[in-house]
Structure 1
Amino acid sequence: MTRIREHGIRVVGDVHGDFNAFRHATATDRFIIQLGDLVDHGPDSAGVMELMLELLEQQRGLFILGNHDRKLGRALEGRRLRRDPPLEETLRQISLPEYEGLPERIYGAIDQAPTWLRIGRSLFVHGGFHTAMLSLPPMPGLGEMSAPLSRALFGETTGRMQPDGYPERRLTWINRIPEGMTVYVGHDRRSTDGRPWRRTGRLGGTAVFTDLGAGKGGHLAWIDLNEP
């Protein structure tokens, strides 16, 4: 991509409806790679999606599919699924009269969004790394679930629930990242100092966690890369 060669990349973490922060993050000549979970929780998921669609149409950026984006896509398909308050609020926002045609445009973008993306020695994914991502093209996010797709969307879980009601997650996948490779993820809020959280695995590869709680009482993170 010409923009990447000329201006580099800005990696943007989970947005969750924080339109003002996303507007600031995208005010750059860099190519935007947003790591998923654009919607739900924050005040303006409709505005966030409208801005993301502009970036796509102008070929100034893309988003990696997150689990919240996938759930919205499945709801727009008419699938039967557990409807939680954040999803219901997102559906209400995008269906307001001033956003005529927006649900259809959002569905088209979700249907085409990559579930992971590799550029050079960098890999961009929402939930977590799977070794199959090194050899397979991104799988359709609204299709049947598989081990690589589950890892891409949800990370790695233990099968147990935490006291807060969310699945307990583990990070053994970091140890499978090859030396010299960096995997940029969202989804899992690990930072304790307000900055992206970095960990190096046993093989020498690195994971960078960018979810700092935007739309949920935290803030939006982004990282600028010149040579991915």
Structure 2
Amino acid sequence: MTRIREHGIRVVGDVHGDLNAFRHATATERFVIQLGDLVDHGPDSAGVMELMLDLLEQQRGLFILGNHDRKLGRALEGRRLRRDPPLEETLRQISLPEYEGLPERIYRAIDQAPTWLRIGRSLFVHGGFHTAMLSHSSVPGLGEMSAPLSRALFGETTGRMQPDGYPERRLTWINRIPEGMTVYVGHDRRSTDGRPWRRTGRLGGTAVFTDLGAGKGGHLAWIDLNEP
């Protein structure tokens, strides 16, 4: 892409409806790669999606599909989902009269969003890395679930639940990242110092966790790359 060659990339972590922070993050000449979970929890998911759609139409950025974005897409398909107050609020916002036509535009964007993206020695995905991502193209996020798609959306889980009600996650996938490759993810809030969290695996590859809690009491993270 011409913009990437000329200006580089800005990698943006989970937004979760934090429109003001997302405006700051996207005020750049760089090509924006947002790592998913644009919606739910924060104050203005409709505004965030409208801004993201503008970036797509202007060819200034794209978003990797996150689990919250997928859930919104499935709701817009008319699927019956279990009760989810953050999702219900997002659906209410995007259905307001001032956003006429927005649900249809959002659905088309979610349906077409990549579930992972590789550029050079960098791989961008929401939840976690799977070795199949090295040899297979991104799969449709609203389609049939597979091991790579599950990893892309949800990371790697142990099958147990944490006290907070969320699945317990593990990070053994970091050890499968090849040497010289960096995987940029959101989804999993690991930082303890307010900066993206980096870990190197046994093969020498690196994972960078960008979720710093935007829309959930934390803040939005972004990283600028000149040579992905």
Shift of 1:83: 2.7
Q: Measure, in 1, the Cα distance between the counterparts of 2:82 and 2:16.
A: 19
Give 2:31's aligned residue: 31
Q: How does 1:111-190 map to 2 (within 5 A)?
A: 111-190=111-190
Q: Measure, in 2, the Cα distance between the counterparts of 1:221 and 1:187.
A: 12
Give 2:80's aligned residue: 80
Shift of 1:15: 0.0
Give CA-to-partner distance per residue, 1:124-173, whole Å, 9 cap, x none: 00000000000000010000000000000000000000000000000000
1:11 aligns with 2:4: no
SS in 2 for 1:110: helix
SS in 2 for 1:141: coil
Shift of 1:82: 1.2
SS in 1 for 2:168: strand
Q: Measure, in 2, the Cα distance between the counterparts of 1:83 and 1:151.
A: 24
Give CA-to-partner distance per residue, 1:158-193, whole Å, 9 cap, x none: 000000000000000000000000000000000000
Which runs of 5 or more residues in structure 1 are unaligned? none
Shift of 1:200: 0.0
Shift of 1:20: 0.1
Q: Measure, in 2, the Cα distance between the counterparts of 1:83 and 1:120.
A: 41
SS in 1 for 2:118: strand
Shift of 1:80: 1.2
Give CA-to-partner distance per residue, 1:6-32, whole Å, 9 cap, x none: 000000000000000000000000000
Q: Measure, in 2, the Cα distance between the counterparts of 1:172 and 1:155.
A: 10
Q: Which consecutive aligned stretches of 4+ in structure 1 deviate over 3 angstroms post-superposition?
A: none
Q: Measure, in 2, the Cα distance between the counterparts of 1:134 and 1:194.
A: 30
Q: Measure, in 2, the Cα distance between the counterparts of 1:224 and 1:23.
A: 16
TM-score normalised by the chain length of structure 1: 1.00
SS in 2 for 1:145: coil
Q: Measure, in 2, the Cα distance between the counterparts of 1:158 and 1:191.
A: 20
Q: Measure, in 1, the Cα distance between the counterparts of 2:129 and 2:187.
A: 12
SS in 1 for 2:149: helix
Give CA-to-partner distance per residue, 1:23-62, whole Å, 9 cap, x none: 0000000000000000000000000000000000000000
Residue identity over aligned pairs, in percent, reads 96
Q: Measure, in 2, the Cα distance between the counterparts of 1:82 and 1:143.
A: 19
Shift of 1:81: 1.1
SS in 2 for 1:195: coil
Q: In the comparison of the two structures, how many residue pairs are matched? A: 228
Q: Measure, in 1, the Cα distance between the counterparts of 2:198 and 2:223.
A: 12
Question: What RMSD over aligned residues (CA atoms) do the two structures have, in Å?
Answer: 0.3
User: 152-161 vs 78-87, which deviates more?
Assistant: 78-87
Q: Measure, in 1, the Cα distance between the counterparts of 2:39 and 2:144.
A: 22
Give 1:216's aligned residue: 216
TM-score normalised by the chain length of structure 2: 1.00
